[in-house]
Amino acid sequence: MTGFSDLSALSVGDVIAERTIHLTRESLVRYAGASGDFNPIHYRDDVATSVGLPGVLAHGMLTMGIASSVVVSALGDVAKITDYGVRFTRPVLVDPEAGADVSVLAKVGAVDETTVRIDLTVKHADATVLVKAQLRAAL
């Protein structure tokens, strides 16, 4: 679904959007340039493994941004995002050859007179990477 015309017609359990985004090492370098976060654990395997990580990790804020962008794209101009929060639980390991897929499922969690709460399920390699991922939009 894209471009909802009336958020007040949404019901708890409705799927707002579902999408898988593929990340590559190039994606991470581009994000580093845009965000200014040049921590080498996001682009150098030797540095990542030297600090005990299994390899290069996607930026947490990139993962968070991807999740919200799926909802923003689906809602279009009919909603104003008023609140967004997540808890990071697992990193997204980005393989140098295969990259990584991040899947996002956005469902209506609650609706009242003025807002809709959208609950996000965000996974990588069958593991949930963000929990308590909730976005609120004004109706």
Alpha-carbon distance of 24 to 26, in angstroms, equals 5
Helices 60-75 and 25-35: crossing angle in degrees, nearest 10, is: 90
Arithmetic mean of pLDDT, 57-67: 97
- For 8-17, letters b (16+ CB in 10 Å) and e give eebeeebebb
| Domain boundaries, given as residue ranges, for the chain | 12-138
Check residue 77 and give its pLDDT: 79
Check residue 2 and give its pLDDT: 46
Give me the helices (H) in the chain, please: 25-35, 45-50, 60-75
Tokens of 16: 């707002």
CATH of 12-138, one of 3.30.300.30, 3.10.129.10, 3.40.190.10, 3.90.1300.10: 3.10.129.10
Q: What 3-state class would DSSP assign to 112? A: coil
Average model confidence (pLDDT) for the chain?
A: 93
pLDDT at 32 over 50: yes
**Global confidence as pTM:** 0.91
What is the identity of the amino acid at 130?
A: L
Alpha-carbon distance of 47 to 44, in angstroms, equals 6
pLDDT at 14 over 80: yes
Check residue 1 and give its pLDDT: 41
Arithmetic mean of pLDDT, 110-131: 95
pLDDT at 98 over 70: yes
